[in-house]
Structure 1
Amino acid sequence: MKQIVQNLKSGETILEDVPMPQSKRGHVLIRTTRTLISAGTERMLVEFGKANFIEKARQQPDKVKQVLDKMKTDGVGPTLDAVFNKLNQPLPLGYCNVGEVVAVGKDVFEFSVGDRVVSNGPHAEFVNVPKNLVAKIPDGVTDNQAAFTVISAIGLQGIRLCNPTFGETIVVTGLGLIGLITAQLLVAQGCNVIGFDFDENKVKLAKSKGVNAVNLADGVDPVQFVLQHTNGVGADGVIITASNKSNDIIAQSAHMSRKRGRIILIGVIGLELSRADFYEKELSFQVSCSYGPGRYDEDYEQNGIDYPLPFVRWTEKRNFEAVLGALASGRLQVDDLISEEVDLEGIVRVYEGISSSKSIATIIRYSSSSSQASTIELNKTDYTVTNGVIGIIGAGNFTSSTILPALKKAKAPIKAIASAAGLSGTILAKKYGISQSTSDYQTMLKDAEIDSIFITTRHNMHASMATESLHAGKHIFVEKPLALNQEELNSVLNAQAKTGKNIMVGFNRRFSPHVQEVKRALGNNSGPINVNATMNAGFIPADVWVHDMQVGGGRIIGEACHYMDLLVYLTGSPITRVCMSSLGEHPEDNTDNASILLQFKNGSNGVINYFSNGSKAYSKERVEVYSNERTAIIDNFRKTSFFGFKKSSDLRTKLDKGHTNQFNKYVNFLKRGGEGLIPQSEIINVTLASFAAIKSLKEKAWINVE
């Protein structure tokens, strides 16, 4: 199928061939018939992409600070690699989609195959959208009209926040597509609507819809105009739908408002507020968030958990349905807002001219003969004479920034990569010369030429995919953790016992040259040692999936396991007991500010301090090893210092956490066979120790690792 994407680094807009997405739980698979381009809204994305690095930095000063902090801790090279990798990731364009349901996932009962629906899906021939972001189209509404639903919901949510009443005067600043729809909905609600813009055509359209619209290019003072038309009282509310970096709009909005007026921001403007402007009139100011309640809430959008209607009357989906009702009744008229209609093949031309376009809305038409292939072949390569062929499931940030560059250096033969939507995998396949991109990872399990499956998905999918891959006769590389609980671990181990295939987990720290040098310096008969390891992990908001115990397993199971493995390697002994204490109040099974005490079979002791409340300007990782009046300190895997070691010199490198060495060794194992890189007993021990840490937190006691 085809999908329109943008390269954020170059600003280039591309009509890309990608695999059709697969239907999945809680989602609706839709064959697209129409999508809508809002010139004003999507122009910002295109212009940002076309901007040079300096202009991009000026637009995102908060990101610049993050980059500078990362340079201090990780070095210039790794930081620039991370920045360029992020910019090279494709950005799907579009969010106003109309189509026909072709499949529904499990737990979806509201939709059936054949339903006409709207969604916030992108410009693509097929889209797979969570059910709470999909709404049925009434029979009397055409596909062209329905394409306005999602963008209309943005205006509607701004109106709901403004809370206008019949007869009030509401100003709409900016009469682009969202502004025109917002003004029309306000008129339908019985408001006196004043609209401002600099485009005469948009002003005329607004007037035709009952708006008292003014072309500011004629030199009209908007503040005086509002005061004159409200008998000096001022506007009851101002809804800003404009896109302008100037601070003048917010100042004018305050000046034209009555006392205790409401100002709602939908667009993007300068926001240097004058306290006096707002203080004297007790004005309220609120930024509207997209389509309404539920937006960016993972439970609502991805997990399908609706807000109870008696308590949250208007969610984003119910806003979609309200707009569709207005379209069906004729209270919202949108046909005259369509500037042009083009076939999908002409979409690149539209985006190339979007910066200078006077278009209000462009409708994209889609063919009914779209390709439904879940796998596309990008180049022909003969893998029948090659050992160690790899298939990768997951095309996220870590795969693109770390795994694939390291595998490229190791000259690994990669035949296929799978991504849920097909797009990110296709972009990476082209970049790294991978033969196939697929949205159906099962095709890799059935491929006799593929020897090893790399699993780099969200953590809750690791164990099931590992089990499937092992049963299919594949070696597996799992980008930690291997499992989130004992049941999942047992499933993986049972599959491995039946097939004898190798299990490898991405515990890369033990392969770092810094750790290797410390291990060599300790020698084979170091006796019990003490290890103090600190991970300055950084703050991640509580609503991100890694904290969800059912999805990410929490950061201790999901990330601190790295250090448990590192300590097992340095001590040369399995973990026997674990005790974890957390900072402050916490859920009984989750924390990311904790100290973990470890006891080892050979008498060694370890402490892992996993903290998320430290400064990002400080080193992210630090390991201290104490043994026989000797001390070794690894500082962020860039510098290792030795004290009391007679035959060891300090080591300095660029940031090296061991990924390159790990993948070199793993590719060599796949091609030549032999012993696995990490003994399975150690992988099991570390996995169980991570479970024991969570149990210790619950029971407030030392837990034995069986």
Structure 2
Amino acid sequence: MKQYTLMLIDKKSLEWEIQELPALGVNEVLIKTVISAVSVGAELSQYDESDVTDINPDYPRNTGYENYGEVVRVGGNVRSVHTGDKVVAFYGHKDFSIEKENNVIPVSEDIPSTQALLTILSCDSAKGVLKLDPNPKDKVLVTGMGTIGLLAVYFLKHYIGVDHIDVIEPDCRRRHIAKEFGAKNAFDLQDKLEGKYEHGLECSGMHGAFGILQSSIRQYGKICILSDGNKEELKLGPEFYEKELCIVGSSDGWDYKRHSQWFFKYVKKTPYIDQIFEYETTKENLMQCFKELSNGTINPLKVLVRY
């Protein structure tokens, strides 16, 4: 069986690599991709070669990391999934993939595919929130209402139960979406913020917003950096030292399978979460989609890719 994999072979240069899949191992599953996604913040900076944390990128390199698919075959020792089951996995823009049983997340038939796919970035956002460990009565400020920021607001509101969540976002459309996700107030960069916050989450990747966040946190408050830091260099301001703030980083998820158990139960109650996918394309048009993202023709929160 042939596998098509979208590879970044140079700056702004993609091609589909074709290869034969190996024999299936006893602890492996063969997955046919139904949908994947373009995580714009992470993937576009790689495509444009603009990631400030990766100034000498190696090529070729894989693209994408979020998949929802159907199990086509299973190895002899596989027990947790069966042929025909739906699963979430982490292999990127490929039409088929062989994955270890332990690396796939089973999905029940009643969970829409788009919502199931969001469990990956939801878990990544949740890890940062859990590191802060806010009290439901605390005030929390989140910068940047991209996918990670919106899912951080979602987890703060619906899992932790935080009542007062404010956000900073220059895009008025994204400020409106943030309120649907649970934000109390949504501010522009020029707005005057109301009061001080016990906790902050940096999801913008922009130094200006990070500076506002530091100035808005209370004495001895805590900030978690969830953004990749691939847009601009994030710098500590005088408030960090004067107020003796604590800053922690967070990457990847805390436990994808355990998180999915909560997320899949809860997400059915909040269909508005599908707003995150503001643009849809197909496998055949995926390379053109990257071009349009790069030249600014489209500017969605996240792209859904159908196979």
TM-score, scaled to structure 1:
0.40
Shift of 1:179: 1.0
User: Structure 1's 358 and 279: CA in aligned 2 closer, same or farther, altered over 3 A?
Assistant: same
Q: Which residue of 1 aligns with 2:191?
A: 220
SS across alignment from 1:285: strand
Cα distance in 1 for residues equivalent to 2:202 and 2:20: 40
Over 3 Å counting, the alpha-carbon distance change for 1:25 and 1:236 in structure 2 is farther
Specify the code of the residue in structure 2 equivalent to 1:16.
Answer: E
Partner SS, residue 364 of structure 1: strand
In the TM superposition, residue 331 of structure 1 has moved relative to its aligned partner by 4.7
Distance (whole Å) between structure 2 residues aligned to residue 22 and residue 149 of structure 1: 29
- 1:353 corresponds to: 292
Pick closer, same or farther for the CA change 1:341–1:59 going to 2, 3 Å: closer
- Judging by fraction of residues, say which structure has more strand: 2
Deviation, structure 1 residue 12:
0.5
Matched residue, 1:522: none
Secondary structure, counterpart of 1:87 in structure 2: coil
Q: Which residue of 2 aligns with 1:341?
A: 280
Aligned pairs (5 A) from 1:637-648: none
CA contact (8 A) 1:30 1:99 kept: yes
- Residue 20 of structure 2 aligns to a residue whose secondary structure is coil
Is 2:47 the counterpart of 1:46? Answer: yes
Which one-letter code corresponds to 1:242 in the other structure? S
Asked if 1 retains the 8 angstrom alpha-carbon contact of 2:78 and 2:101, the reply is yes
Q: Which runs of 5+ in 1 are unaligned?
A: 64-85, 293-314, 367-706
Change (3 A) 1:344 1:213: farther
Letter in 2 for 1:265: I
Q: Which one has a bigger Cα radius of gyration?
A: 1
Are 2:200 and 1:261 aligned?
no
- CA separation of 1:166 and 1:59: change in aligned 2, threshold 3 A: closer
* 1:283 and 2:245 matched: yes
Matches for 1:296-445 after TM superposition, within 5 Å: 315-328=255-268, 330-331=269-270, 333-355=272-294, 356=296, 357-366=298-307
Mapped to 2, the partners of 1:266 and 1:103 lie a distance apart of: 36
Which of these residues, 242, 246, 250, is aligned with residue 204 of structure 2? 242
Checking the alignment, whether the CA contact within 8 Å between 1:157 and 1:319 is kept in structure 2 is no
Pairwise CA distance, 1:107? 4.7
What residue is the counterpart of 2:161 in the other structure?
190
Asked if structure 2 preserves the Cα contact closer than 8 Å seen for 1:184 and 1:209, the reply is: yes
Superposition map of 1:574-593 within 5 A:
none
Distance 1:29-1:205 versus aligned 2 partners, 3 A rule = same
Q: In the TM superposition, what is the alpha-carbon distance from 1:279 to its structure 2 partner?
A: 3.9
- CA distance change for structure 1 residues 27 and 187 in 2, over 3 Å: closer, same or farther? same
Q: Deviations over 1:296-347 (max 9, x none)?
A: xxxxxxxxxxxxxxxxxxx23322333223223x257422222122221011
> How far apart in 1 are the matches of 2:260 and 2:12?
31
CA distance in 2, matches of 1:199, 1:21: 46
8 Å contact from structure 1 (residues 174, 197) kept in 2 = yes
* Partner residue in 1 for 2:179: 207
**Partner Cα separation in structure 2 for residue 338 and residue 59 of structure 1:** 27
What value does the CA root-mean-square deviation take over the aligned residues?
2.4
Structure 2 distance, partners of 1:121, 1:344, is 15
Deviation at 1:21, TM superposition (A): 5.0
Please list the CA deviations of residues 455-501 of structure 1 after superposition, one character each: whole Å capped at 9, or x if unmatched: xxxxxxxxxxxxxxxxxxxxxxxxxxxxxxxxxxxxxxxxxxxxxxx
- C-alpha distance in 2, partners of 1:22/1:326? 38
Q: List structure 1 runs of 4+ shifted beyond 6 angstroms.
A: none
Give 1:141 shift. Answer: 0.9
Amino acid at match of 1:201: R
1:37 Cα shift? 1.5
Q: 1:281 to 1:340 in 2, by over 3 A?
A: same
Name the residue aligned to 1:161.
131
| Contact kept? 1:237, 1:257, Cα under 8 Å | yes
Tell me if the contact between 2:205 and 2:234 (Cα under 8 Å) persists in the aligned partners: no
- Give how far 1:106 is off: 5.5
Runs of 5+ consecutive residues of structure 2 not aligned to the other structure: none
Code of the residue aligned with 2:109 in structure 1: it is D
Cα deviation, 1:74-95, whole Å, max 9, x if unaligned, reads xxxxxxxxxxxx833x212111
Q: Select 1:145's aligned residue among 107, 115, 125.
A: 115
CA distance in 2, matches of 1:236, 1:273: 18
Quick check: 1:273 aligned with 2:236?
yes
Is the CA contact 1:21–1:127 (under 8 Å) kept in the aligned structure 2? Answer: no
Q: How much does 1:267 deviate?
A: 0.4
SS at match of 1:243: coil
SS at match of 1:160: helix
Verify: 1:11 aligned to 2:9, yes or no. no
Q: Secondary structure at the match of 1:166?
A: coil
Report deviation, 1:11.
2.6
Q: 1:240 to 1:133 in 2, by over 3 A?
A: farther
Give the match's secondary structure for 2:293: coil
Q: Which is helix-richer, 1 or 2? A: 1
CA drift of 1:281 comes to: 2.9
**Deviations, residues 549-605 of structure 1 (Å, cap 9, x unaligned):** xxxxxxxxxxxxxxxxxxxxxxxxxxxxxxxxxxxxxxxxxxxxxxxxxxxxxxxxx
2: distance between equivalents of 1:136 and 1:339?
26
Aligned length: 298
Decide whether the 8 Å contact of 2:37 with 2:303 is kept in 1.
yes
Matched residue, 1:23: 24
Q: Is the 8 A contact 1:34 1:365 kept in 2?
A: yes
Deviation, 1:187, is 1.7
Q: Matches of 1:340 and 1:258 in 2, distance apart?
A: 38
Confirm whether residue 87 of structure 1 aligns to residue 58 of structure 2: yes
